[in-house]
Amino acid sequence: MPNIGRYLITTADERTWKFDQPVIFLGEWCKLYDRQHIWQKMNAIVAEPYGLDLNNKVQDNLECRRIEKILLTELTKILNDTHQTTYSERFWKILIGHWLRTYIETGLNRIKTLEYCMGKYEVSGSTFIELSKEKLIPKNFESMFTLLESDSWNSTFDLQILNLFKEISFKFEVYKSQPENLKQIESNLKKQSEIKPLKSRIFSAIKLCLKYFKKNSDALVINTYLPRFEEVKLNFRLGQLPKFWESEFVKIDCEENIELRNKLSLKSTYVINDKYLSILSSMLFNFLPTCYLEGFNKLKVVANEMGFPKSPKFIFTSNSYSTDEVFKYWSAVKAEEGAKYIIGQHGSNFGTHRFLSPSVEEEICDTFLTWGWGNNSLNYKPSFIFKIVNKKLRSNPKGGLLLNQLPIDYRRNTWDTVNQHLKYFEDQKIFISNLSESIRRNTVVRLHGLSKTQKFREDLRWLEFDDNLKLNYNQGSFFTLLSKSRLVVHSYDSTGFLETLALNLPTMAFWQNGFDHLVPEAKLYYQELVDIGILHLSPKSISEKINNEWTDIELWWNRLEVQKARNKFCEQYARQIEKPIQELNNLLTKNLG
């Protein structure tokens, strides 16, 4: 243990910093890239990151699932008593399950990060921001993502955790404040009042007219992840007119009832020998979104006014199960009444990622439609990759290289995602550095659309590394960029990786930590991609491969052994079929029995 006491800094909010003494930053998230002229002058170190070891990830994942099961049972009883309802655990998991899992994983990360730092370093003191209780509470699940990037919110979260620790060897100051920039931190939802273009207004009028033709026994088909025209075809095959339902941007806004929350907190589980459960349970009602508590009755009214079918044949979605609170409430009610709830796979990592499987959506539905894989359960039905149904696309043999980047996942996992992302970014630079000069000058780096506003400032980091590099800030269609490119490189295990493989476009990928994130049964399929040169586990390896194959990427891509490995992988994880809508119709209607 270092023999020097250091002042602990937990966020990037400089109101909590000390500049006249040695300090320790809790993590790299404290050191904003565009403030390096400040923190580089400080007598500072950064605490070792928590939770990056595979064993830590495995154990913390098991701990989260254990706590989730206990807290869901607890919340089911408390919320039923509060709302005078008798809903099942499944009802509440449909409604609050995604928020609860995020809260637990985030909370365990904050607890263990503080615990790890204080056990390893001598802390002389710290300063925290304390927001009012009202400012801590998200309106809904989506708005929690905004809060997770707020320094003042995170500082208050850390303060609440420290207040529940039994022994603290240092004193800390509390700075009472409003959220940074004096803005109310809310979800970045679309404004209902914004002026829509004429094309959009015409489409809205058509949607309104179509709703008058609904039948109470119609299936609810909403946000399927299918292309719009294919979703229309599906509705006609089901014998109903398409309705283009939308409820995602309906706000359920209401005042926080702190007195009620304090009362309910007293009912929460407290087990003296179960520290992590006790802390997360005792803070539960400080962070439960208002739409599940104070706004629950309003949520019910709004859902009833949406005009959804009263007795749907079944419910099918691939997108609405997570942040669409109105749909979640309605589907939970209908599932209680016996309606079949069918969810389609949305994106990558389903059936392959050991820390994400099973997801909440897999656990709450009657049937989960995958993009090809199965797991020996009757509740899982192999289907096909929805988003690119009947899509045809060709690459440009004379085009450039498109590097598809991972957006930073801001501290929503049990491990230190910011430190992991820094290592990821270093790998990206190694990859670019090892490309031949002609390829490098013909490379486009596709950044996340929010890269200019996110605290990590990937755009500035890239420009400092190479100011001649072509950056795309998620401008234009991904598919348009693909059509202009000779080769697309995915720097993480992404949905785009599955899409371009399924579209048979020249594709390579590389990422860190090898197969650590994969379930055992997926490793064989990924290993065959490694053996054939599609997937690489180091940035230098993929650069060398590209340099060697660049003059005729299509020749390499169309080799028999490459196509054989691609086809085998796609059949399992990115399946394409001849008559997708016909098969989907069969899969959906067979679930009625």
* In contact, 480 and 505? CB cutoff 8 Å: no
Q: Where are the domains of the chain?
A: 54-183+255-292, 198-252+295-384+577-590, 400-573
Query: Which pLDDT score, from 0 to 100, does residue 266 have?
Result: 82
Query: Which pLDDT score, from 0 to 100, does residue 320 have?
Result: 95
Mean of the per-residue pLDDT values of the chain: 91
The answer to whether residue 114 scores a pLDDT higher than 70 is: yes
Of 130-134, 211-215, 353-357, the range with the lowest mean pLDDT is 211-215
Confidence at 592, pLDDT banded by 50, 70, 90: low
The answer to whether residue 212 scores a pLDDT higher than 80 is: no
The answer to whether residue 441 scores a pLDDT higher than 60 is: yes
Query: Which pLDDT score, from 0 to 100, does residue 488 have?
Result: 98
Query: Which pLDDT score, from 0 to 100, does residue 98 have?
Result: 98
Query: Which pLDDT score, from 0 to 100, does residue 215 have?
Result: 85
Query: Which pLDDT score, from 0 to 100, does residue 184 have?
Result: 40
* In contact, 214 and 309? CB cutoff 8 Å: yes
Query: Which pLDDT score, from 0 to 100, does residue 455 have?
Result: 83
Q: Give the CA distances from residue 157 to residues 10, 110, 132, 283, 578, in Å, rounded to whole numbers and listed in that order.
A: 11, 8, 11, 9, 51
The whole-number average pLDDT for the span 507-512 is 96
Query: Which pLDDT score, from 0 to 100, does residue 182 have?
Result: 36
* In contact, 404 and 446? CB cutoff 8 Å: yes
Of 126-130, 167-171, 311-315, the range with the lowest mean pLDDT is 167-171
Class of domain 400-573: alpha beta
Cα(283)–Cα(588) distance, integer angstroms: 41
Confidence at 351, pLDDT banded by 50, 70, 90: very high
* In contact, 115 and 53? CB cutoff 8 Å: no
* In contact, 454 and 448? CB cutoff 8 Å: yes
The whole-number average pLDDT for the span 251-267 is 91
- Six-digit token pair at 7? 């002042």
Confidence at 195, pLDDT banded by 50, 70, 90: very low
The answer to whether residue 211 scores a pLDDT higher than 90 is: no
Query: Which pLDDT score, from 0 to 100, does residue 202 have?
Result: 47
| pLDDT, tens only, 381-434 | 999 999 999 999 999 999 999 999 998 887 889 999 999 999 999 999 999 999
The pairing of strands 171-176 and 123-130 is parallel
The answer to whether residue 254 scores a pLDDT higher than 60 is: yes
The answer to whether residue 567 scores a pLDDT higher than 70 is: yes
- Six-digit token pair at 226? 């299918």
Place of tokens 């309106």: 139
The whole-number average pLDDT for the span 128-152 is 93
The answer to whether residue 568 scores a pLDDT higher than 80 is: yes
Query: Which pLDDT score, from 0 to 100, does residue 451 have?
Result: 61
The whole-number average pLDDT for the span 295-306 is 94
pTM metric for this prediction: 0.92
